[in-house]
């Protein structure tokens, strides 16, 4: 793919958007993970505090919330990454509305030398490039035809301009092109998100093989993982979850406008002492949990998104359910205008175990049934 604007720029942009639509659909619904979990320097809370101890219920609740938030994190990261990739390769310096939904982006600076492009790209909450959301510094390298590697550091800002945290990413995107058409895309990558408020470091990772040779790609599977420490519990939690993705073109919409449904019936999860677990990559497209851990029950996932957009409108929501005892995490967009979301964790009998309120950046607060609360920062759970 040509990394410089040229007379064929409109064709290149269509190709990038086609890639973007496929990437968005795949990664918007895959649980994230990573290779090495960071640990907080804060000591574990004593048993006399309001924070729940490491009971089975407390661990299950956090595992479900962790996995549920990871879906939102994956959607956010990949959709913003598609924007960064498109803008950087095309040197899109003018303020440009995002391809779907609200928001905008522009390149602050970009340069290409040989097969390497460096760019600073900002993504905005609004359509006029005035309310920054993501400030990304990216390096894109095309080692061989059809393969691009991306190294990026992105600072996330809340709606009020406060710094949420920093995301560091390493990705690889491989395009298969036949007769000028992209027929398949393979994506894999890892990274870490470090919250600005001192919360635990969360690692990211994902692999997807995405068919894109038709207007309606057949269902496909993405696999991802999530792992982080929970110092207040004295535990680390890790999981690997495959999800089947199904796309449906939106009637009357553009060529890249799809709704998405996703489901997963089997996940691998483990609980271990703080710092005892990590995620490894036996191959470039697979994950495994390493360390001394205890197997947790498998979780099932189902959900939908109204539109592949950085800020998806209603109706959008998803659930993650413990297949053994029926504890369920759910999250729903309640206000398309403000992007507000509400979530809950409930037992099989309907008892409330936790409540969440989030803004469009995936930040807010979770309150547990015992009365304790913790911050949620950019789709990551603080405790």
| Omega of the bond leading into 35 within 30 degrees of 0 (cis) | no
State the pTM of this model.
0.82
66-104 CB burial, b ≥16 within 10 A, e <16? bbbbbbbbbbbbbbbbbbbbbbbbbbbeebbebbbbbbb
Grouping H, G, I as helix, E, B as strand and the rest as coil, residue 62 is helix
Would 2 be classed as within a structural domain?
no
Would 326 be classed as within a structural domain?
no
Strand partners, 202: 193
What are the residues whose beta carbons fall under 8 Å from the beta carbon of 200, sequence distance 6 or more? 37, 38, 39, 40, 228, 229, 230, 231, 380, 382, 383
pLDDT at residue 54, as a whole number: 55
Would 356 be classed as within a structural domain?
no
User: How many domains is the chain built from?
Assistant: 1
pLDDT at residue 215, as a whole number: 66
Average pLDDT of adjacent 10-residue blocks, the chain of 383 residues? 35 39 36 33 37 67 90 82 86 90 93 94 96 97 84 96 95 79 78 92 83 73 86 90 86 79 87 91 84 90 87 90 91 80 94 95 94 93 87
Taking only the tens place, the pLDDT of each residue in 319-359 is 999 988 899 999 998 777 777 899 999 999 999 999 999 99
Cα–Cα nearest to 222, from 240, 248, 198: 240
Would 375 be classed as within a structural domain?
no
What are the residues whose beta carbons fall under 8 Å from the beta carbon of 50, sequence distance 6 or more? 370, 371, 372
> How far is CA 97 from its chain centroid?
21
pLDDT at residue 213, as a whole number: 58
Would 76 be classed as within a structural domain?
yes
Would 342 be classed as within a structural domain?
no
Give the integer Cα–Cα distance in Å for 375 and 59: 17
pLDDT at residue 42, as a whole number: 36
Give the integer Cα–Cα distance in Å for 170 and 205: 9
Would 103 be classed as within a structural domain?
yes
Taken in order 261, 76, 336, 375, the sign of the CA dihedral is positive
Q: Which domain holds residue 116?
A: 9-320
The counts of H helices and E strands in the chain are 2, 21
Would 128 be classed as within a structural domain?
yes
Return the axis-axis angle of helices 9-27 and 56-90, rounded to nearest 10°: 180
pLDDT at residue 51, as a whole number: 39
CA atoms within 13 A on the CB side of 59: 21
pLDDT at residue 195, as a whole number: 95
Give the integer Cα–Cα distance in Å for 280 and 11: 39
Cα–Cα nearest to 29, from 307, 284, 358: 307
What are the residues whose beta carbons fall under 8 Å from the beta carbon of 328, sequence distance 6 or more? 64, 319, 320, 321, 322, 345, 346, 348
């Amino acid at each position: 793919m040509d990394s410089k604007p040229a007379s064929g720029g409109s064709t290149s942009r269509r190709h990038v958007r086609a890639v973007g639509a496929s990437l968005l659909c795949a990664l918007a619904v895959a649980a994230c993970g990573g290779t090495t979990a960071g640990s907080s320097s804060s000591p574990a809370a004593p048993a006399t505090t309001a924070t729940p101890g490491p009971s089975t219920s407390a661990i299950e609740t956090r595992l479900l919330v962790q996995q549920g938030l990871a879906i939102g994190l994956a959607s956010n990261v990949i959709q913003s990454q598609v924007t960064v990739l498109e803008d950087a390769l095309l040197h899109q310096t003018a303020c440009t509305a995002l391809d779907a939904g609200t928001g905008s982006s522009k390149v602050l600076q970009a340069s290409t030398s040989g097969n390497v492009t460096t760019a600073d790209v900002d993504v905005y909450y609004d359509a006029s490039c005035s309310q920054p959301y993501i400030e990304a510094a990216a390096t894109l390298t095309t080692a061989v035809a059809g393969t691009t590697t991306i190294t990026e550091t992105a600072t996330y800002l809340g709606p009020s301009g406060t710094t949420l945290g920093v995301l560091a990413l390493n990705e690889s995107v491989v395009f298969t092109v036949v007769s000028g058409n992209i027929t398949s895309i393979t994506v894999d990558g890892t990274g870490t998100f470090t919250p600005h408020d001192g919360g635990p470091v969360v690692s990211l990772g994902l692999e997807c093989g995405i068919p894109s040779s038709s207007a309606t790609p057949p269902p496909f599977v993405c696999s991802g993982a999530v792992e982080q420490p929970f110092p207040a519990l004295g535990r680390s939690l890790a999981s690997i979850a495959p999800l089947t993705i199904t796309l449906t073109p939106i009637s009357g919409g553009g060529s890249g406008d799809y709704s998405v449904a996703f489901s997963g019936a089997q996940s691998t999860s483990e609980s271990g002492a703080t710092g005892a677990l990590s995620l490894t990559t036996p191959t470039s497209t697979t994950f495994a949990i390493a360390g001394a851990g205890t197997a947790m029950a498998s979780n099932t996932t189902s959900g939908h998104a109204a539109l592949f957009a950085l800020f998806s409108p209603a109706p959008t929501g998803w659930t993650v359910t413990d297949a053994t005892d029926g504890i369920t995490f759910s999250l729903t967009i309640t206000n398309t205008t403000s992007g507000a979301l509400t979530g809950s964790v409930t037992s099989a009998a309907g008892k409330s175990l936790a409540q969440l309120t989030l803004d469009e950046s995936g930040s807010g607060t979770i309150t547990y049934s015992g009365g304790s609360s913790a911050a949620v920062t950019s789709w990551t759970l603080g405790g």
